[in-house]
Amino acid sequence: MRFPTSAALAVLLASTVSLAYAQTATGQTATGQTATGQTATGQAAAVQAPAGQTAQPAPQQVKPDTVLATVNGQKITERDLAIAYSNLSDTVKQQPQGQVLPQLLTELINEKAIDIAAVKDGIENNPDVRAEMNAASNQVLQNALLRQDIGPLLTEDKIKAAYTAQYANKPGEVEVHAEHILVKTQPEAQAIIDQLNKGADFATLAKAKSTDPNATDGGDLGWFKKGDMVESFSNAAFALKPGQFSQTPVQSPYGWHVIKVLATRVAPPETYEQVHDALAQSMEQDALRAELTKLRSATKVVVFDQNGKPVPQTAPVAGQ
């Protein structure tokens, strides 16, 4: 779930991954532990071994403050590793954790060594560096607040409830299957309509005249809903009956169209899986707007012009 209102929202609702390290007879292994007691790969901590194999013991449960390494006495804990793991890309997370986590720990050790050297050189006292550090700290706080306040509003149960209210047991939208011919000018489109009225084949004219990339397919647009096309095009297409073509050229930002409707149908309601992500994103945006409105209303904001004079402010608008 992600949207572009603020950089802080990039990690909105990001799950905290708890990673457990356990010592085995052959060395150190790592496994991710979720809040439900399952590993990050979706397997329970203790699983039944396949036939003919010996079941492996469940990994030892450890606390987030468990120390995994020290660099000049500075600790790197399991919590540090969990945070670093949660920020990895989904592609990397698909790799075996037994490979990823040791490499990630090595990276944290390297970063800690760099941090120590930077502090030793006094780099944190540079005003520009200090400003960047403060900005990063503020972003962490923003993310935490959004997770705290918005996260509970976007559970799977609430998304399912929204689906039931907005989609379930409601008739699907009307769709049309249409062809079109796109040309640059209105006279060109009118000349094509005149030829169609004299019996010319629509698909043949589309292949010869249309500037749209689908001209090679006879101008076939396939099935679409009214909201899928620009308003002028949709209004014209949905006003036609199957077998009819537009008798006047239809203008859009792309040029002038001649439209022919082949068939109409009522599409089945979209499934939960089809609309899940879009619905979750919409709910997230609504929750964010409400949260920002609440937060802005509880604060005093003064904006200054280039001369240092306060600019009159209207009511706070979410997202600004």
Return the C-alpha torsion angle 145, 148, 154, 158, nearest 10: -150
Amino acid of residue 255? G
Same domain, 164 and 305: yes
Query: Residue 59: what pLDDT?
Result: 45
Mapping DSSP to helix (H, G, I), strand (E, B) and coil, where does residue 88 land? Answer: coil
- Domain residues for the domain of 165 are 158-170+278-320
Residue 187 maps to which CATH number?
3.10.50.40
Check whether residue 85 and residue 210 sit in a common domain: no
Q: pLDDT digit of tens for each residue in the chain (320 aa)? A: 333 333 333 333 233 333 333 333 233 333 333 333 333 333 333 223 334 443 334 444 668 899 999 999 999 999 999 999 999 999 999 999 999 999 999 999 999 999 999 999 999 999 999 999 999 999 989 989 988 999 898 999 999 999 999 888 788 889 999 999 999 999 999 999 999 999 999 999 999 999 999 999 999 999 999 999 999 999 999 999 999 999 999 999 999 999 999 999 998 888 899 999 999 999 999 999 999 999 888 988 888 988 888 988 765 544 44
Assess contact for 78 and 64: CB atoms under 8 A.
Answer: yes
Backbone CA torsion sign across 184, 186, 187, 189: positive
**Do 142 and 163 share a domain, yes or no?**
no
AA letter at 239: A
Instruction: Using only the alpha carbons of the chain, give its radius of gyration.
Output: 30
Q: End of a domain among 102, 125, 154?
A: 154
Domain count, the chain: 3
Asked whether residue 285 falls in the same domain as residue 297, the answer is: yes
Which residues lie closer than 8 Å to 61 by C-beta, 6 or more apart? 20, 33
Residue 1 lies in a domain: no
What is the 3-class SS of 155-217, one letter each residue? Answer: CHHHHHHHHHHHCCCCCCCEEEEEEEEEECCHHHHHHHHHHHHCCCCHHHHHHHHCCCHHHHH
Verify that 97 and 165 share a domain, yes or no: no
Residues 37 and 88 in one domain: yes
- Tokens describing residue 306: 């280039």
In angstroms, rounded to a whole number, what is the distance separating the alpha carbons of residues 18 and 78?
8
Q: Give residue 33's pLDDT.
A: 36
Cα(76)–Cα(25) distance, integer angstroms: 23
**How many other C-beta atoms lie within 10 A of the C-beta of residue 281?**
14
Intra-chain end-to-end CA distance of the chain, in Å: 20
Looking at residue 75, what DSSP letter applies? E
What is residue 316's predicted lDDT score, i.e. its pLDDT? 52
Q: Are residues 18 and 107 in the same domain?
A: yes
Helical axes 186-197 vs 202-209, angle rounded to 10°: 150
Last residue of a domain, one of 154, 189, 204: 154
pTM, to two decimals: 0.50
83 and 194 both lie in a single domain: no
Residue 315 belongs to some domain of the structure: yes
Instruction: Looking at the structure, tell me whether residues 163 and 307 fall in a common domain.
Output: yes
What pLDDT is stored for residue 46 in this prediction? Answer: 28
- How many angstroms separate the CA atoms of 12 and 152, rounded? 12
Length of the chain: 320
Provide the pLDDT for residue 50.
37
C-alpha 70 chain-centroid distance: 37
Residues 129 and 190 in one domain: no
